[in-house]
A and B are shown apart, each in its own frame.
Chain A
């Protein structure tokens, strides 16, 4: 008997253990906490990630079964105001233990990463490159006044500037600029409450310089009292440019975004369906990171494949999305 299947079979990259289909986890890519302003390091980081994404994307020639969507979040730390005038109204990012850095320099560093990624990434992968920040110690320290709403506005200006540069370099067929923010919701350990975080998102929305999305790579566990589950829904989905790329570090994280089987409240269960772009993990393992579990600071967490599966499966309870193309793992950049 001869069986003939009229279908398009993608070529699996060497060493791949994940498959590509709408309901099977895609290969993860890399995201980074950035603490260095060394352009060579950032460019090298992009080159390494371009190679990784090239080797873990595949295109079948007619776009029917491609698995080429990648996201790289470059998290440069939390907002701070460094001057009351100058580029981007003096706003910058703190770069963790690195130097407080002006937004125009952050834009330049993002471009250095893009140049490195473009050089090595081949022709298949498509990258959403996120200029990232957080709601950690939002606007504390530095020069005052520091207004989260105004920061949100200039964040979009900065993303727009990156996009213009990508256009000028003729990279934009392969790389698109977006914004991302680690919007943590437990209101402790220095993470801001919902009010200023919503103001930042609103500022991003209100800036009419162009159409850009703001991906929330935070969590939905609200334990402090200064976040409601409605707030989480707003900053990740309710606001027009917001899309969720949530941290899915374990079952508790997945539950609070989706079915609420943990404590009964959850973004989708309590407020309404959202469309997840994908998920983020924080495994410390060298590549290739296992499906899961993995190790993070001595504890066990979901690996990228495991996190994707958990979010996808639980998300079916209330959500209606037909695909979830992104998966990324974040570490501190070397």
Chain B
């Protein structure tokens, strides 16, 4: 009888906490008495926007309302969304050297020139310029390369790799002046000329 009363009390307490948005964790044992050994009550999760300024909260609430409205609306079927493109091979193009118009994300450098090269089974995004890495010599030229597969649709998750190649000797900033196949021709601030091979990633 006492056990039944205790259990009813627990049900009532749990019901109240659940109604208030609490998560109730109950651990029980059945060794003889079968009594409840532990009841843990976890406070409700505060809203992420707690402490958010009103004008910011207004935008967040509008986004949430838009989401709720969309949840109640129609949902496009998944099976009618077309199939994966079998191939998307990058076409061959004559590379052009252009003045750098973007910073290079992930690389500390001041780029002077940029180009895009399609060669073999790869696409290369290439920047030439001067490193601005901490501790690097002030006249350290470098080339940054992103190499990607030419057919980005051939596999489910094709990878691209960004890497940086400092010139073996310091001659100032690198300016790319031409491309022939995988060879990038450049000149440096002090008039030194050279090539960089996109396949082997070597200067010469």
Contact = CB atoms under 8 A, between A and B. Distances in A.
A239 B132 CA distance: 31
Contacts of A242: 56
The interface size bin for chain A is: 35 or more
Interface stretch (B1-9, B144-152, B179-187, B189-197): B144-152
Contact of B66 (A44, A170, A172): A172
Contact of B114 (A97, A174, A331): A97
Contacts of A97: 98, 102, 114-116, 125-127
Interface in A239-296: 240-242, 273, 275, 282, 284, 286-287, 296
A332 B160 contact: yes
A94 B103 contact: no
A75 B60 CA distance: 23
A188 interface: yes
Contacts of B51: 273, 275, 320
Contacts of A171: 76
A48 interface: yes
B59 A170 contact: no
A3 to B, nearest CB: 5
Q: Tell me what chain A mostly uses at the interface: helix, strand, loop, or mixed.
A: loop
Nearest to B153: A44
B29 A286 contact: no
Nearest to A301: B106
A300 interface: no
Nearest to A191: B103
Nearest to B95: A97
Contacts of A2: 28-30
Given A6-B24, A94-B102, A172-B66, A40 B153 contact: yes
B16 to A, nearest CB: 15
A137 B30 contact: no
B105 A173 contact: no
Given A41-B153, A97-B126, A331-B160, A136 B102 contact: yes
Contacts, number: 202
A281 to B, nearest CB: 10
A51 interface: yes
B139 to A, nearest CB: 16
Contacts of B75: 170, 173-174
Contacts of B73: 170, 172-173
Contacts of A141: 101
B55 A240 contact: yes
Interface string A57-77: 000000010000000000101
B168 to A, nearest CB: 15
Interface in B81-114: 81-82, 84-85, 88, 90, 98, 100-111, 114
A275 B49 contact: yes
Contact of A3 (B28, B59, B104, B105): B28
A264 B51 CA distance: 24
A233 interface: no
Given A2-B30, A5-B25, A189 B78 contact: no
B105 A75 contact: yes
B199 interface: no
Given A40-B153, A286-B157, A176 B76 contact: no
A332 B59 contact: no
Interface in B53-88: 53, 55-56, 58-60, 62-63, 66-67, 70-71, 73-76, 78, 81-82, 84-85, 88
A170 B144 CA distance: 41
Nearest to A333: B160
15 contacts: A4-B27, A48-B156, A94-B102, A96-B102, A122-B78, A134-B102, A169-B76, A170-B73, A172-B70, A173-B73, A182-B105, A275-B49, A296-B106, A332-B148, A332-B162
The 9 closest A-B pairs by CB, nearest first: A211-B62, A119-B81, A334-B148, A170-B76, A334-B152, A136-B103, A40-B88, A172-B70, A334-B158
Given A213-B59, A322-B47, 17 more contacts: A1-B30, A35-B116, A48-B156, A77-B102, A80-B101, A118-B76, A122-B78, A136-B102, A163-B66, A170-B74, A170-B75, A172-B67, A172-B73, A174-B75, A176-B67, A211-B63, A332-B160
